[in-house]
Amino acid sequence: MRRIHKKFINLLEKSNTVQIEMKYLRSILRKTLNRMVVMEEFKAVQTQNRTPAHSEDNARHLQVEFALTKAQLDESFRLRYRIFVEELGAKIDCATPLGIESDHFDAFCHHLLVRDITTGQVVACTRILTDTQAQVAGGFYSAKEFDLSPLSITSGRVMEIGRTCVDPQYRTGATIGTLWAGLAKFMENNRFSYLMGCASIPMNDGGAQAHKIMMQLRAGFLTPESLRINARRPLPPPPIEPSIAPIKMPPLLKAYLRLGAQIGGEPYWSELICNNVICVILFIEKMKVTLPCANLPRNSPLGSIGIKLAALCIMSAIKPWIMPIFCPLKPRSILLF
């Protein structure tokens, strides 16, 4: 497709009969090409209305879908407001008095929703930023928190998830499994090699638990030195009085580690949520959990991913949300096609 565009432009440049401003034409063609790339990603997964076999009885009323209209996007933004702002008390400048939590990165994301088809309500959502979109944007969202330059040496496609949240009444394995099955199908169809996300460590004890957890993670869960990333605002010093409380690994972080995820490096101290944020990198080929999955083809190289990711949330009591780790894209429109 890119070759066709290039040949077309060259042909017009050589023609003396076509009177057209080439700079304007190039702009139009590039925008068209970018739009086609995004549409191709969306084409892979549009609506998935069945969940993995393990949760069929509990999730038969749930379906996963992409937000294709502004109304659907607003549904996810309102859910995010209820969870991040009202429930968790996050200090988000972009939140509006109308109950909408949205930032300028949303215009460049694929928004995945879980809907209760009996009520029509959106009960879970996440947003996806792909490597293709990141190139248009000029960088990842998480670059504000981490130096991601070491990851540039990795091969294969990468996608980032963020702003993931679940309605309090639907925080079950069925809901999370449905959401992750949709993510997995998107990863499979678009041939992503790894996923970036994050997990948070609470600081309500002054950081004692965070330091203990990091000691354990440094002992065997860090990425190789060549892929080590640095936090732009490091973990505050530990409290003077040592804590005698046992280590309590956050459920989401524990589940990631069980799947074979690695920790990118030292955590980032987030004033936004008063937590330490850990960059988690999950290479698909290194995922450990394999269970039968009714939704994905067994002969696919990624055929077991859906249930693997669903297991991430079922193995532990999942946290209600995952803060973003991925990147912004240059605004084109709130809808991507």
Helix (H, G, I), strand (E, B) or coil at 24: helix
- Asked if 160 and 197 sit in the same domain, the reply is yes
The answer on 290 and 172 residing in a single domain is yes
Question: In terms of domains, do 129 and 180 share one?
Answer: yes
Domain that residue 268 falls in: 45-322
Residue 332 lies in a domain: no
Identify the pLDDT of residue 228.
Answer: 93
Percent over 70 (pLDDT), the chain: 63
The 8-class DSSP code of residue 246 comes to P
| CATH code where residue 278 lies | 3.40.630.30
| 8 Å CB contact between 285 and 195 | no
Same domain, 5 and 70: no
pLDDT in tens, 189-217: 899 998 998 887 878 777 888 888 999 99
**Position 329 in a domain:** no
pLDDT tens for residues 45-56? 444 434 433 344
What's the pLDDT score for residue 165? Answer: 87
Q: 55 phi and psi, to 5 degrees? A: -125, 25
Do 31 and 50 reside in the same domain of the chain? no
Q: Looking at the structure, do residues 3 and 130 belong to the same domain, yes or no?
A: no
14 and 70 in a single domain? The answer is no
Closest CA to 199 of 113, 120, 138, 261: 261
Give residue 109's pLDDT. 92
Q: Are residues 93 and 123 both part of a single domain?
A: yes
Judged by average pLDDT, the poorest of 145-159, 218-232, 262-276 is 262-276
Tell me whether residue 249 is in a domain.
yes
Residue 30 pLDDT > 60: no
Q: Is 195 inside any structural domain? A: yes
- Residue 318 maps to a domain: yes
pLDDT tens per residue across span 71-108: 999 999 999 999 888 887 777 776 677 899 998 889 88
Task: Tell me if 267 is assigned to some domain.
Answer: yes
Average the pLDDT over 13-17 and give the result. 48
4 and 81 housed in the same domain? no
- Residue 334 domain flag: no
pLDDT in the model for residue 259:
74
**Do residue 16 and residue 154 come from a single domain?**
no
pTM over cut 0.85: no
Claim to verify: residue 29 and residue 145 sit in the same structural domain: no
Spatial contact of 273 and 88, defined as CB atoms under 8 Å apart: yes
Give the count of domains, the chain. Answer: 2
Are 133 and 207 contacting, i.e. CB atoms less than 8 angstroms apart?
A: no
Query: Quick one: pLDDT band at residue 163, thresholds 50, 70, 90?
Result: confident
Of 117, 121, 111, 35, residue with least CA distance to 68: 111
51 in the same domain as 32: no
User: Buried b / exposed e across 184-196, counting CB within 10 Å, b at 16+?
Assistant: bbbbbebebbbbb
- Within a domain: residue 333? no
